[in-house]
């Protein structure tokens, strides 16, 4: 006879999970009681939101399912932001929550929350377990849906009495869940390759846009071969960074609100846009009605629900990129395509290059360049949300598909530090660089305790402008400098905070970036910071009113970028 909690853990282990993140509490106590000897390592975060983000960080760098555990009521609701984040950014996440006793459900019992109902619109799939017999099937099905198709979050809510109940269980034989097939007629039929080739043959200014789906599909080698063959101007969304080697002659960098001049201009001018695994959200398109106004769009996408959210496409290609890209490339073998060299020369030419490629006018960009250039080859950069996030995305130059991680769709401040915990645990030998702002860092600052407890050698950077910088930038540009409630000039001393958590802290002022190259003293500081085998925190004090440029103002087309303060 096994307890329900033991069955849960055996089933989770059978899904290949050996690491989970969580925070104990009343209703989930039976599961914690069964952890020892289960073969699953549990990492205690200091807040349930930290557990969800840590599980996301683990999932994002590995492609495996991340698992977060919490108790009922506030424990479960504290997971919600992480669940929403996983939904937006297609992260496979399974959250297991304790629930009050079955007999008490619906009675507003102590720490009862209808987390199943709360998360219905945020999860890909969810279950409130009703009997102990259901547990193996529910766990297997939950993991299946979390990782299949477009990955996403799943919540499994288990009443505490079922975790304590006992039943005969045959052992750790994994339940094989087989989804019921959908009717064949539910998808439109038809070959697409001939149509794309025909569109390409008529195109004068074709471009390619690469998003997160390219990474999630695991089709990066196939995509790179295809792009090499096409040799057309190519750019990436923030989640597509790293999918295309940045030194490719046809690569124009990041597109969108803070994208490069070359990428946004080419996107505005194109007459044929090939989209690979991006959902064309509003941060990518600018004003939707003026997005790629001359283009026909071919949209490669695994999730039909992502089509036509912002802009209609002429040819949706529904399927896994791992299947559709090779099919596309196969068709190109026998196709004669136009010579696009003139278009490529214009789109990739020096007239559209970055105005300040060394970032000399922007100390934080210089700082990030200096930092990134010293990273060991095996690295992961995790950015929080705000100005520093966009600066980091603009300066990121790696070709590692899972090397740049951020909360892109939801834009959840506080993401980076706990996500770095998950990433570092997943990749203990990788240099994990966590870049936060002073606002976001304080949203999950308690995870410094987790970093210290586990001795994780995360390199934490706080870009401290003593403002909620991105909001302040918008207040400056669009609200007549009414800096309402964005002033953080009374920030604590982060180096002292780190010291309280027994983590070594460093401080660097932006004046150190005035020299080019930087002084040997600054260079040594950065080297020592990155090479340390311990967790380290570096505070970079920067100008309070620095802005992120280029910028496409809200309501403007991508071609209407702003490059500097008026």
Partner 1 sequence: MQVFHIRYRNVQGTLMRILNAISRRALDLTSVHAEAAGQDHAVTVQLEATPKQIGQLYREWYGIVDVIEVRSSVTPPQQGEPEWAPLPPGSAVAEPPVRAASA
Q: What angle do CA 40, 41, 42 make, to 5 degrees?
A: 115
Q: Which stretch binds partner 1 (CB under 8 A): 314-322, 358-366, 408-416, 528-536?
A: 314-322
Extended beta strands in 34-151, E state? 41-44, 66-70, 93-99, 125-128
Q: What do you get for the CA distance between the two ends of the chain, in Å? A: 73
Q: Which is nearer to partner 1, 45 or 324 (CB)?
A: 324
432, 424 contact by CB (below 8 A) = yes
Q: Residue from 22, 253, 316, 437 that binds partner 1 (CB under 8 A)?
A: 316
Does an H or E element contain 236, and which? strand 234-236
Is residue 180 close enough to count as binding partner 1 by CB under 8 A? Answer: yes
Q: Residue from 125, 177, 372, 474 that binds partner 1 (CB under 8 A)?
A: 125
Distance CA 319, CA 531 (A): 43
Q: Residue from 116, 396, 404, 529 that binds partner 1 (CB under 8 A)?
A: 116
Q: Which is nearer to partner 1, 152 or 440 (CB)?
A: 152
* Residue 123 in tokens: 């999860």
Least distance to partner 1 from the beta carbon of 510, Å?
Answer: 43
Is residue 186 close enough to count as binding partner 1 by CB under 8 A? Answer: yes
Q: What angle do CA 115, 118, 119 make, to 5 degrees?
A: 85
Least distance to partner 1 from the beta carbon of 124, Å?
Answer: 7
Secondary structure (3-state) at 387: helix
Distance CA 16, CA 12 (A): 7
Q: Residue from 45, 49, 71, 126 that binds partner 1 (CB under 8 A)?
A: 126
Q: Residue from 62, 111, 137, 195 that binds partner 1 (CB under 8 A)?
A: 195
Least distance to partner 1 from the beta carbon of 339, Å?
Answer: 24
- DSSP letter string over 297-314? EEEEES-GGGTTSSS--S
Give me the 61-100 binding string for partner 1, x by CB under 8 A, dash otherwise. ----------------------------------------
Q: Residue from 108, 189, 351, 496 that binds partner 1 (CB under 8 A)?
A: 189
Is residue 184 close enough to count as binding partner 1 by CB under 8 A? Answer: no
* Residue 506 in tokens: 């460093």
Q: Residue from 317, 417, 497, 548 that binds partner 1 (CB under 8 A)?
A: 317
Give me the 259-298 binding string for partner 1, x by CB under 8 A, dash otherwise. -------------------------------------x--
- Tell me the CA distances in angstroms from 221 to 178, 210, 215, 307, one per residue in order: 29, 13, 10, 25
Beta partners for 99? 159
Question: Per residue in 35-57, is it b (16+ CB within 10 Å) or e — as a string?
Answer: beebebebbebbbbbbbbbbbbb
The 3-state secondary structure of 368-381, one letter per residue: HHHHHHCCCCCEEE
Q: Which stretch binds partner 1 (CB under 8 A): 115-123, 277-285, 366-374, 423-431?
A: 115-123
Task: Give the interface size with partner 1 as a residue count (CB under 8 A).
Answer: 44
Q: Residue from 86, 128, 431, 435 that binds partner 1 (CB under 8 A)?
A: 128
Q: Which of residues 291-310 bind partner 1 (CB under 8 A)?
A: 296, 303-309
27, 164 contact by CB (below 8 A) = no
Give me the 320-349 binding string for partner 1, x by CB under 8 A, dash otherwise. x--xx--x----------------------
Where on the chain is the footprint of partner 1 (CB under 8 A)? 116-117, 120-121, 124-128, 145, 179-180, 182-183, 185-192, 195, 199, 296, 303-309, 312-320, 323-324, 327
């Amino acid at each position: 006879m096994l307890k329900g909690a033991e069955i849960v853990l055996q089933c989770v282990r059978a899904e290949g999970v050996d690491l989970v993140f969580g925070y104990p509490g009343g209703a989930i106590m039976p599961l914690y009681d069964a952890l020892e000897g289960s073969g699953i390592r549990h990492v205690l975060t200091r807040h349930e939101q930290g557990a969800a983000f840590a599980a996301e960080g683990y999932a994002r760098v590995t492609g495996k399912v991340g698992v977060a555990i919490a108790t009922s009521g506030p424990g479960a609701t504290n997971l919600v932001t992480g669940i929403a984040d996983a939904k937006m950014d297609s992260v496979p996440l399974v959250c297991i929550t304790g629930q009050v006793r079955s007999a008490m459900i619906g009675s507003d019992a102590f720490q009862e929350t209808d987390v199943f109902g709360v998360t219905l619109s945020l999860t890909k799939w969810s279950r409130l377990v009703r009997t102990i017999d259901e547990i193996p099937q529910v766990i297997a099905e939950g993991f299946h849906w979390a990782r299949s198709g477009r990955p996403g979050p799943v919540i499994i809510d288990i009443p505490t009495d079922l975790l304590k109940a006992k039943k005969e269980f045959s052992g750790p034989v994994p339940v094989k869940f087989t989804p019921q097939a959908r009717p064949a007629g539910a998808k439109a039929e038809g070959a697409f390759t001939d149509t794309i080739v025909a569109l390409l043959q008529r195109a004068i200014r074709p471009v390619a846009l690469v998003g997160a789906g390219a990474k999630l599909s695991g089709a990066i080698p196939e995509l790179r071969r295809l792009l090499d063959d096409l040799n057309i101007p190519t750019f990436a969304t923030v989640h597509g960074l790293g999918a295309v080697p940045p030194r490719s002659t046809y690569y124009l960098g990041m597109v969108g609100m803070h994208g490069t001049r070359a990428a946004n201009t080419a996107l505005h001018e194109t007459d044929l846009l090939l989209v690979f695994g991006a959902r064309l959200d509003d941060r990518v398109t600018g004003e939707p009605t003026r997005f790629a106004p001359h283009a026909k769009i071919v949209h490669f996408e695994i999730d039909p629900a992502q089509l036509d959210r912002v802009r209609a496409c002429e040819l949706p290609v529904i399927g896994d990129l791992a299947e559709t890209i090779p099919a596309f490339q196969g068709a190109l073998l026998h196709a004669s395509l136009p010579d696009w060299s003139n278009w490529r020369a214009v789109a990739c030419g020096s007239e559209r290059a970055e105005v300040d490629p060394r970032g000399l006018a922007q100390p934080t960009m210089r700082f990030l360049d200096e930092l990134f250039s010293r990273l060991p080859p095996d690295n992961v950069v995790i950015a929080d949300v705000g100005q520093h996030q966009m600066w980091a995305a603009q300066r990121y130059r790696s070709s590692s598909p899972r090397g740049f991680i951020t909360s892109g769709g939801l834009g959840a401040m506080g993401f980076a530090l706990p996500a770095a915990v998950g990433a570092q645990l997943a990749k203990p030998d990788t240099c994990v660089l966590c870049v936060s702002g002073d606002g976001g860092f304080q949203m999950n600052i308690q995870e410094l305790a987790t970093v210290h407890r586990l001795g994780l050698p995360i390199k934490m950077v706080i870009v401290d402008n003593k403002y909620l910088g991105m909001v302040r930038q918008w207040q400056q540009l669009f609200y007549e400098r009414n800096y309402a409630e964005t002033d953080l000039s009374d920030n604590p001393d982060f180096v002292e905070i780190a010291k309280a958590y027994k983590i070594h802290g460093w401080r660097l002022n932006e004046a150190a970036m005035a020299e080019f190259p930087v002084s040997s003293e600054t260079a040594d500081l950065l080297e020592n910071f990155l090479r340390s085998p311990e967790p380290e925190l570096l505070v970079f004090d920067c100008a309070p009113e620095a802005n992120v440029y280029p910028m496409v103002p809200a309501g403007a087309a991508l071609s209407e970028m702003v490059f500097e303060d008026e």
